[in-house]
Amino acid sequence: MYNTHRENKNYKSNNNITYSCTYHVVWCPKYRRKVLVGPIAARLKELIEETCVALSVEILEMEIMPDHVHLLLDVDPQFGVHKAVKRIKGASSRVLRQEFKELTTKLPTLWTNSCFVSTVGGAPLETIKQYIQSQKTSQRQ
């Protein structure tokens, strides 16, 4: 589903810059509530994909856990990872809270204001992808 041919450092370019800016991003629902399950998780995945397409942000890997989201993103440095994450969180919160009323009764806001962002330039992308994929199986144990 996601682009896996990036291991050879395929660079992207816009009019001004050639780049490869890959980030591991994690954020949680408010109070780390385990609300990202079932149809909410499925819809969140769709919303993240739609927002990333609109922003020209490439998703290399994604995993929705009950109480947090893991993304591996390739972001244009002129747009910036902070702006991308802010748009993803804002759009997904707005739609999810409209479509799933239980999210408005359980939480004052869907997401915390914070997130974790780490560049992955030094780590092989396959290692980061395997880590993100392993999160789902490690939660089941």
How far is the C-alpha of 114 from the C-alpha of 15, rounded, in Å?
A: 32
In the set 2, 11, 31, 131, the catalytic residue is: 131
- The reply to whether 131 belongs to the active site is yes
How far is the C-alpha of 123 from the C-alpha of 45, rounded, in Å?
A: 25
Active site residues: 131
